[in-house]
Amino acid sequence: MCAGITVYSPLRHFGIGPGMKVGIVGMGGLGHLAVKFAAALGAEVTVLSRGTSKKDDAFAFGADDFRSTSEPDTFVDRAGYFDIVICTVSAALNFDQLLSLVRFDGTFVNLGAPDGPVSIGMFSLMRTRIAFTSSSIGSIHETQEMLDFCVEHGVTSEIEQISADGINDALDTLRHHGSRKVPYRYVLDASTI
């Protein structure tokens, strides 16, 4: 769970709670925890994902809606809809398109770390006074708060436990398939080292 602080911290910082509309871009290792945290905080949660393979999981984790970013209607139906969009994807994305989903004076939090520079048209921010920000970690105090929150709300990370002799296979899967074929988190069984 300490990896979860990356998504917990901005959710708490921006006061996410009942009545707020939260969009989560990507539902991998960070994204699935963002969905669980935002739902437990009482927000209306929508998963925004390229494909639909994790749709059932999204609802099981507490999402209220699921939209494919491959469908142009998503950007029409949800234009200016979200108070905050949290992006957990580390790939090159069309940020201008994603920013169109954020309401006036809303916030876009980018937690992904693409390999190179990203492009954002200034009018995507200026037109609706959107705050574009990022975050990577929280304090020790905030991490303890997150762990207490997890216990209180039953939030757990989805994992696949692997033994030490399975590390190369796990890395191979990551290298060749990215997050598409990977469970939400791999966890190494330290007793097998």
User: Is residue 76 pLDDT above 80, yes or no?
Assistant: yes
The per-residue pLDDT for range 40-73, each reduced to its tens digit, is 999 999 999 999 999 999 999 999 999 999 999 9
pLDDT at position 3 is 74
What value, to the nearest 5°, has the Cα angle with vertex 90 and ends 134 and 81?
60
pLDDT at position 178 is 62
The per-residue pLDDT for range 140-178, each reduced to its tens digit, is 999 999 999 999 999 999 888 889 998 898 888 877 766
Measure the CA–CA gap between 157 and 141, rounded to whole angstroms.
Answer: 20
pLDDT at position 13 is 94
Q: What are the C-alpha distances in Å from 96 to residues 20, 74, 86?
A: 22, 14, 14
Domain boundaries of the chain, sorted by first residue: 2-153, 160-192
User: Is residue 181 pLDDT above 70, yes or no?
Assistant: no
User: Is residue 85 pLDDT above 70, yes or no?
Assistant: yes
User: Is residue 107 pLDDT above 70, yes or no?
Assistant: yes
Contacts with 81 (C-beta within 8 Å, 6 or more apart), sequence order: 21, 23, 101, 103
Whether domain 2-153 has CATH 3.40.50.300: no
pLDDT at position 182 is 67
State the average pLDDT for the chain: 91
pLDDT at position 141 is 94
Confidence grade of residue 7 (pLDDT, cut at 50, 70, 90): very high
Contact (CB, 8 A) for 28 and 186? no
User: Is residue 116 pLDDT above 70, yes or no?
Assistant: yes
User: Is residue 1 pLDDT above 60, yes or no?
Assistant: no
